[in-house]
Amino acid sequence: MDSNQLIPKLFRTEYQKIVSVLCRLFGIQHIEIAEDIVSDTFLAAAETWSIKGIPENPVAWLYTVAKNKTKNHYKRNSVFEQKIVTEIQHNSTKSGDEIEIDLSDKNISDSQLAMIFTICNPCNSNEAQIALALNLLCGFGVSEISEAFLTNREVIYKRINRAKEKLKEENITIQQPSVTEIKNRLDNVLKTIYLLFSEGYYSTSQNTILRQDFCAEAMRLVYLLIQNKTTNLPAVNALMALMCFHASRFEARTNEKGEIILYEDQDETLWNTELIDRGTYYLGLSSSGEQLSKYHLEAGIAYWHTQKEDTPEKWARILELYNSLLILEYSPIAALNRTYALSKVKGKEIAIAEAEKLSLQDNHFYHSLLGSLYTGHDNAKAVSHFEMAYSLAKSPADKTIILKNKNRVPSV
């Protein structure tokens, strides 16, 4: 592997680690300085390695250069020195010339955990938190994030900068969360990571590699929470189980053209049994404690979807889990998904009646589901709903699958 291949790979894995450590050291007010130092480190790697070759230990080389650049920066920058070096020295046992930049595995892990709770602060919107998490915690560039969100670079650039400024305005401290902070803010952290995963799993971007990378990064962040004993809680394990089950079917969800393949049409030989087993393991760990989260219930639903056999027990269990989920945290989309399980257990007629009560007239998933439920029951209505779904759908992938389902309806 040459430097042109290695550096992007290391950027994805090491950028966010060094940024987290430096942000924790400097404070939220100087987040751009941390980013600049790390970017300069990778620029130096690109320039040096292309001439001298890749060093024996590339990661250690990056860490050493990042440390030196940090020390050089505070020595020559009087504004930086006046504002924060005194504070760094106060927290250090060494003199100013020997400020410790701790890039040990433990401090990297602790710093990343602190950054997760900082970035997932409710002072920013969900969209802003996700964009900032992708940028700072996962090392994705503005172009990659804009592609996933199907928007232009300028929108994402402004979103990230506004999110940083908001954290500065609120004077958020980057520090290890206390037990009380974890209790109060873990729900928001898990929600942000869950939405980050969803951006990859349900994204309409045609870049499959990018979408899988988003999902992998979300899973990595949850694993960071699992590795820390204060955040290794049942809901965290449940979210990891949910992600494993969903990710296990990633390869089977789309064809070579990027078109969505419906669950019942998926090739189960493409399902990743190792991820299913890991999901089952984490689901087992999540059963400790007395608190039931939505992630427990959604993980249970996802588990049963990894069981391909179309048995009455399977759909009865899924329906039961949806019923509990709606009681715990009502969502129109969850209610809509429940009606499919209801059709499997009690028949299409009852499911249609339940679905129509939702009256989600502006939602293409609503009309797609009714189109499927009416197929073979009232084919004229099925066609009408598929046509409405097609007109409401925005992405080419959604329109393709709606048209395919419409063509399956027997001639009226």
Which percentage of the chain shows pLDDT scores above 90?
63
**CA 231 from centre of chain:** 18
State how far the Cα of 17 lies from the Cα of 107, in Å rounded to an integer: 9
The predicted pLDDT at position 262 comes to: 80
The predicted pLDDT at position 155 comes to: 93
Return the DSSP state at 98: G
Contact between 213 and 200 (Cβ < 8 Å): yes
State how far the Cα of 51 lies from the Cα of 335, in Å rounded to an integer: 60
Partners of residue 260 on adjacent β-strands: 254
Residue 75 pLDDT grade (very low, low, confident, very high; cuts 50, 70, 90): confident
For the chain, first and last CA: distance in Å? 59
| Helices assigned H by DSSP within 139-233 | 142-148, 153-169, 179-201, 208-227
State how far the Cα of 238 lies from the Cα of 240, in Å rounded to an integer: 5
Instruction: Return the sign of the alpha-carbon dihedral for residues 178, 184, 186, 192.
Output: negative
The predicted pLDDT at position 275 comes to: 97
Statement: residue 318 has pLDDT above 60: yes
Statement: residue 179 has pLDDT above 50: yes
Measured CA angle at 401 (ends 377, 373), to 5 deg:
20
| Helices assigned H by DSSP within 206-307 | 208-227, 234-248, 273-285, 294-305
In this structure, how many other beta carbons lie within 10 angstroms of the beta carbon of residue 340? 18
Neighbouring residues of 401: CB distance < 8 A, sequence distance ≥ 6: 259, 260, 262
Looking at 24-38, 94-108, 314-328, 372-386, which range is the least confident one?
94-108
Residue 300 pLDDT grade (very low, low, confident, very high; cuts 50, 70, 90): very high
Crossing angle between the packed helical segments 332-346 and 312-328, to the nearest 10 degrees: 150
State how far the Cα of 88 lies from the Cα of 95, in Å rounded to an integer: 10
Which whole number is the average pLDDT over 165-182?
Answer: 90
State how far the Cα of 254 lies from the Cα of 233, in Å rounded to an integer: 33
The residue ranking higher by pLDDT, 334 or 263, is 334
Partners of residue 254 on adjacent β-strands: 260
Task: Give the three-class secondary structure for 138.
Answer: coil
The predicted pLDDT at position 26 comes to: 85
The predicted pLDDT at position 82 comes to: 58
The predicted pLDDT at position 90 comes to: 44
Residue 168 pLDDT grade (very low, low, confident, very high; cuts 50, 70, 90): very high
Contact between 116 and 189 (Cβ < 8 Å): yes
The mean pLDDT of the chain is 89
The predicted pLDDT at position 317 comes to: 97
The predicted pLDDT at position 260 comes to: 77
Backbone angles phi, psi at 44, to 5 degrees: -60, -40
Nearest to 204 by CA among 241, 247, 155, 151: 151
Residue 263 pLDDT grade (very low, low, confident, very high; cuts 50, 70, 90): confident
Residue 79 pLDDT grade (very low, low, confident, very high; cuts 50, 70, 90): low
Contact between 122 and 190 (Cβ < 8 Å): no
Q: What is the pLDDT of residues 362-379, one digit of tens each?
A: 999 999 999 999 999 999
Q: Where are the domains of the chain?
A: 1-103, 104-232, 360-412
Nearest to 119 by CA among 13, 191, 44: 191
The predicted pLDDT at position 94 comes to: 46
Crossing angle between the packed helical segments 208-227 and 234-248, to the nearest 10 degrees: 160
State how far the Cα of 236 lies from the Cα of 253, in Å rounded to an integer: 25
Contact between 182 and 231 (Cβ < 8 Å): yes
Structure tokens at 213: 């990378």
Q: What is the pLDDT of residues 103-159, one digit of tens each?
A: 999 999 999 999 999 999 889 998 899 999 999 988 888 988 888 777 889 999 999
Structure tokens at 274: 């190792």
Give exposure, 79-113, as e/b (b: 16+ Cβ within 10 Å). eeeeebbeebbeeeeeeeeebebebeeebbebbbb
Task: Give the three-class secondary structure for 7.
Answer: helix
The residue ranking higher by pLDDT, 139 or 79, is 139
Which whole number is the average pLDDT over 271-279?
Answer: 97
Which whole number is the average pLDDT over 291-313?
Answer: 93
Statement: residue 98 has pLDDT above 60: no
State how far the Cα of 157 lies from the Cα of 191, in Å rounded to an integer: 22
